[in-house]
Structure 1
Amino acid sequence: MTRVHDHGGGVRSLRVPIPDNPLGHTLVYVVDTDRGPVLVDTGWDDPASWDALTAGLTACGTSVADLHGVVVTHHHPDHHGLCGRVREASGAWIAMHEADTAIVRRTRRTRPDRWFTYMTAKLTAAGAPADHVAPLGAVGPRTRLPGLSPALPDREIVPGELLPLPGRRLRAIWTPGHTPGHVCLHLEEEHPARLPGNGRLFSGDHLLPGITPHIGLYEDPEDATVTDPLGDYLDSLERIGRLAPAEVLPAHQHVFADAPARVRELLAHHEERLAGLHALLAEPLTPWQLAVRMEWNRPWERIPHGSRTIAVSEAEAHLRRLVKQGRAEPVPGSDPTAYRAV
């Protein structure tokens, strides 16, 4: 059944399913403009997802062919996946922040075997056991994997600027952390129900009502820059808290109010988690060993292979934050590198 919700003021949301994912669906927003509807995200590139998107647009009284543009909060396939098909069917432009566009370009030009060779080296350096790393060696240059040919955007989202939506005031706010180019989109218009606060915010995955987004590493194999994605995320959260929108329209779960309260919860959660990891590092641990000991939404033994790789990336992001804060340091001469509390 098509699930369409009218949020008032020319904004509706569609539930676009994510195959085999506990999140269930992406909330794709349809924003009316003087030139036709504009989407905020599109959903996963899957036949069932496409059918849900097109049926939802029909229920809104429009169609894919009528779309004027697509604003992508970030490059992940449950947000960006159907962009290419939407553009092909409508001629709509696609806009994305330049940092995530760079990841899209890199993904398109990197052969699967080159990428998995890099991932093998990264996981080995993180202390992953041989039985976890071994499956990555089976990927060859002709391996076809989903999500490796994402659509290149046509336009750049410039933080602080209004997007080209005729008749609307939608301003981009750069909120790196979940991805380097993640953006929230501030609808600078009075809330249709006149709720107190500063307009409405399409928050993508940056601010969700009941879950915390994954914060991991997005490394360019050719770039040796040491990033701090968790630090970026925490700084971005504080910016959104100060904005104090009347209502938040996230990409998952449900719409909610009181963004500052949710920001405070998330800041406290991450500080508590960092303190717990600092305690674990009373004994030297590799990123893999730290990931095994961290608390997840299920026991480590039940976490599938791909999700374990993501977990290690999140452990490394937390380690970088602790190191930058002077609360942890690498153990000299350890191989793979282990870290200890300071």
Structure 2
Amino acid sequence: MDSAVQVTGTRQRQAWQDGVLPPVEKVRDGLWSIPVPIPDNPLRYTLIYAFELPDGVALVDAGWDAEDSWLALVAGLRTAGYEPADVRAVLVTHMHPDHFGLAGRVREASGAWIGMHEADAAQVRPDDALTDSITRRAAAQLTDAGAPRDVVGEPHGLSRAHLLEDGAEVLIADHDRIDLPGWDLRAVWTPGHTPGHLCFHEREHGLLLSGDHVLPRISPNISLYPGQLGDPLGRYLDSLRAVGEIDADEVLPAHEYRFRGLDARVASLLEHHGERLAEVERAVAANPGSTGWDVTTRLHWSRPFATLSQFLKRHALRESLAHLVLLETHGRLRASDEKITRWFAANGRT
């Protein structure tokens, strides 16, 4: 972690290092941090934030849809002095199931309204035709990128268990002020990790609830995925630069731990992706005609690539594709017009 980034969630970081769930904490008067576990996932938990209101609480995110996760959310609310029936709103940072999975159950328990950016809300509404189309396109994308059959595997899309029945009632746009009495909370649209990822800026207290957009230690996965953003990494980097200009005394992320030094962390993430783009470009220059899969296998990963699960290999490939597309957009690389796409330096020959 960058030396200019100061950890403020010290108990959260200690829990992260110890491999245990951190405590429920009062972050500010009237604002609570509630960890909700993610079953069988290296991220281990999502940090849910509860804003106290005159007549209950509003949540930012809800957690994974599993019984242990629900029980942790209920216990956290009770520590803060509330019950699930007291929830008035769930503001969803983005469409991934560790963030919105329990939103429907919270709504059933309380009648709370659910708010999301429309770009993500469209992805989680139950629509069998859309889901089937995305599933087929996802498998075709991996095949076109040169992935082996065992990595492509069976068609895999968003499980119906991870769809939000009846959708979100409130669509939140960039700069919208959220109607939470006692709080000056505004939405910041930060596409990249997902098309509709939202951060929330509480201006009076100088807080940025950053979702997965800015984390203290790791970089969020930025993947090229069918039916979503055409240049997700480019959009992510633009969103990072915009967020880096926000005046925030403390960052409250959805994973890991709270910290100060938003501008330094943004600079570190921009540097990381700059280095990764250079690594991808070198891999193509050294091996003209590489497929996306070829490039992925030649990059440095946090663990040896061969040891990754098929699921993680698919994520890695889509992350590589996001970098390849951005380099193509910048005129550094070009893609061949073949059934299996191959990549070349922009001034190279096929």
Q: Percent identity?
A: 46
In structure 2, the residue matched to 1:184 is: 199
Q: Does 1:329 align with 2:334?
A: yes
Go from structure 1 to structure 2 and tell me whether the alpha carbon gap of 1:150 and 1:296 turns closer, same or farther (over 3 Å shift). Answer: farther
Query: 1:85-115 CA distances to partner (integer Å, 9 max, x unpaired)?
Result: 000000000000000011112x643476654
Go from structure 1 to structure 2 and tell me whether the alpha carbon gap of 1:294 and 1:150 turns closer, same or farther (over 3 Å shift). Answer: farther
In structure 2, the residue matched to 1:126 is: 145
Question: Could you say what secondary structure the match of 1:7 adopts?
Answer: strand
Go from structure 1 to structure 2 and tell me whether the alpha carbon gap of 1:230 and 1:147 turns closer, same or farther (over 3 Å shift). Answer: farther
Any residues of structure 2 matched to 1:193-272 within 5 Å, and which?
A: 199-220=206-227, 227-272=230-275
Distance in 2, matches of 1:36 and 1:310, equals 39
Question: Could you say what secondary structure the match of 1:136 adopts?
Answer: coil
Distance in 2, matches of 1:179 and 1:44, equals 17
Distance in 1, matches of 2:150 and 2:192, equals 30
Distance in 2, matches of 1:307 and 1:170, equals 35
Go from structure 1 to structure 2 and tell me whether the alpha carbon gap of 1:176 and 1:289 turns closer, same or farther (over 3 Å shift). Answer: same
- Give the letter aligned to residue 168 of structure 1: W
Q: Shift in Å at residue 338 of structure 1?
A: 0.6
- Give the letter aligned to residue 58 of structure 1: R
Go from structure 1 to structure 2 and tell me whether the alpha carbon gap of 1:72 and 1:339 turns closer, same or farther (over 3 Å shift). Answer: same
Q: Shift in Å at residue 57 of structure 1?
A: 0.5
- Give the letter aligned to residue 341 of structure 1: A
In structure 1, the residue matched to 2:7 is: none
In the comparison of the two structures, how many residue pairs are matched?
A: 323
Greater relative contact order (Cα < 8 A, sep 6+): 2
Query: 1:28-77 CA distances to partner (integer Å, 9 max, x unpaired)?
Result: 00111223200000000000000000011011111100111000000100
Q: Does 1:304 align with 2:320?
A: no
Tell me if structure 1 keeps the 8 A contact 2:97–2:162.
no
- Give the letter aligned to residue 54 of structure 1: V
Query: 1:98-155 CA distances to partner (integer Å, 9 max, x unpaired)?
Result: 00011112x643476654432221111111112323x316x8xxx9946443341110
Which residue of the other structure, out of 291, 299, 321, is the alignment partner of 1:294?
299
Query: 1:183-211 CA distances to partner (integer Å, 9 max, x unpaired)?
Result: 10000113xxxxxxxx1000000000000
Q: Does 1:157 align with 2:201?
A: no
Go from structure 1 to structure 2 and tell me whether the alpha carbon gap of 1:2 and 1:53 turns closer, same or farther (over 3 Å shift). Answer: farther
Q: Please give the TM-score of this superposition, normalised by the length of structure 2.
A: 0.88
Tell me if structure 1 keeps the 8 A contact 2:90–2:113.
yes
Q: Shift in Å at residue 78 of structure 1?
A: 0.3
Any residues of structure 2 matched to 1:46-195 within 5 Å, and which?
A: 46-105=66-125, 108-110=127-129, 114-133=133-152, 135-136=153-154, 145=159, 147-151=161-165, 152-190=167-205
Q: Shift in Å at residue 2 of structure 1?
A: 7.8
In structure 1, the residue matched to 2:28 is: 8
Question: Could you say what secondary structure the match of 2:49 adopts?
Answer: strand
Which sections of structure 2, spanning at least 5 residues, go unmatched? Answer: 1-20
Tell me if structure 2 keeps the 8 A contact 1:108–1:148.
no
Larger mean Cα displacement after TM superposition, 235-244 or 117-126: 117-126
RMSD: 2.0
Q: Does 1:280 align with 2:280?
A: no
Larger mean Cα displacement after TM superposition, 113-122 or 43-52: 113-122
In structure 2, the residue matched to 1:339 is: 343
Q: Shift in Å at residue 170 of structure 1?
A: 0.3
Distance in 2, matches of 1:202 and 1:162, equals 14
Which sections of structure 1, spanning at least 5 residues, go unmatched? Answer: 191-198
Question: Could you say what secondary structure the match of 1:281 adopts?
Answer: helix
Question: Could you say what secondary structure the match of 1:85 adopts?
Answer: helix
Tell me if structure 2 keeps the 8 A contact 1:4–1:13.
yes
In structure 2, the residue matched to 1:196 is: none
Go from structure 1 to structure 2 and tell me whether the alpha carbon gap of 1:145 and 1:238 turns closer, same or farther (over 3 Å shift). Answer: closer
- Give the letter aligned to residue 114 of structure 2: I
Question: Could you say what secondary structure the match of 1:122 adopts?
Answer: helix
Distance in 2, matches of 1:5 and 1:100, equals 29
Query: 1:315-337 CA distances to partner (integer Å, 9 max, x unpaired)?
Result: 111111000111100135x4411
Go from structure 1 to structure 2 and tell me whether the alpha carbon gap of 1:96 and 1:160 turns closer, same or farther (over 3 Å shift). Answer: same
Tell me if structure 1 keeps the 8 A contact 2:250–2:259.
yes
- Give the letter aligned to residue 177 of structure 1: G
Q: Shift in Å at residue 341 of structure 1?
A: 2.0
